[in-house]
Amino acid sequence: AQSVTQPDIHITVSEGASLELRCNYSYGATPYLFWYVQSPGQGLQLLLKYFSGDTLVQGIKGFEAEFKRSQSSFNLRKPSVHWSDAAEYFCAVGLTKAAGNKLTFGGGTRVLVKP
Amino acid sequence: GAVVSQHPSRVICKSGTSVKIECRSLDFQATTMFWYRQFPKQSLMLMATSNEGSKATYEQGVEKDKFLINHASLTLSTLTVTSAHPEDSSFYICSASQRGRGYNEQFFGPGTRLTVL
């Protein structure tokens, strides 16, 4: 069965510092990978996605992620964090059409930004 | 494009009553809709998948008689929480996807906060 692990439950970072959020997945087929952000009481916003091709993916709000097949990882990075980046971040793996195109989410990482 | 709405955004109800939540795809035809539940400070858990015109497929452990899902049109799916109890209080999020070649990406609604008193 597929699974997604986000090892860090909380991360605190100073404004202007770099941020890296870890994501490891387990899935038998080629993964479709996603990063979403959720502000309190809000829905999910897609930051970026990886389907195929270039393993370094650029997203919105200055985020990027790198797919490393050998490590089963899809870590999210941002060079310089803004106070507005404080939120919950979810990594997800999308299953194939045969498996219903379902999404499996990681447990999430809460990012706190210090002034 | 690919906008999904939910209504209501918040609902408070008394224990024992039923609550209906609507999920609409505003600018595309959603052949498949998904319903998720999210408890405070937790991740999203898939409850069920519904294909237009078909019965919903529920995930293990989700009571289909308690959470009634209808997907009668290509733009609307509804989730009805029947005989709601305080433990049903949660954040419910829907998503919608359109059948096509390749991976059918899901587009998420803004969520509905249900509080059962």
**What pLDDT, on the 0 to 100 scale, is given for residue B104?**
80
Q: Amino acid letter at A30? A: T
Q: Are residues B93 and A102, on separate chains, in Cβ contact within 8 Å?
A: no
**pLDDT, tens digit, for every residue of A70-89?**
999 999 999 999 999 999 99
Q: What is the pLDDT along chain A (115 residues), one digit of tens a residue?
A: 789 999 999 999 999 999 999 999 998 777 899 999 999 888 899 999 999 889 999 999 999 999 999 999 999 999 999 999 999 999 999 987 777 788 999 999 999 999 9
pLDDT above 90 for B105 = no
Which residues in chain A (43-82) have CB-CB distances under 8 A to chain B? 43-44, 46, 49, 51
Q: How far is CA B35 from CA A92, B47, B70, in A?
A: 16, 6, 11
Q: What is the mean pLDDT of residues B71-81?
A: 93
* Token reading at A70: 């050998």
Higher pLDDT, B114 or B101: B114
CB contact (8 A) between residue A43 and residue B93: yes
A115 at interface of B, judged by CB pairs closer than 8 A: no
Asked if residue B36 lies in contact with residue B92, where contact means CB atoms within 8 angstroms, the answer is: yes
Model pLDDT, residue B101: 67
**A93: three-class secondary structure by DSSP:** strand
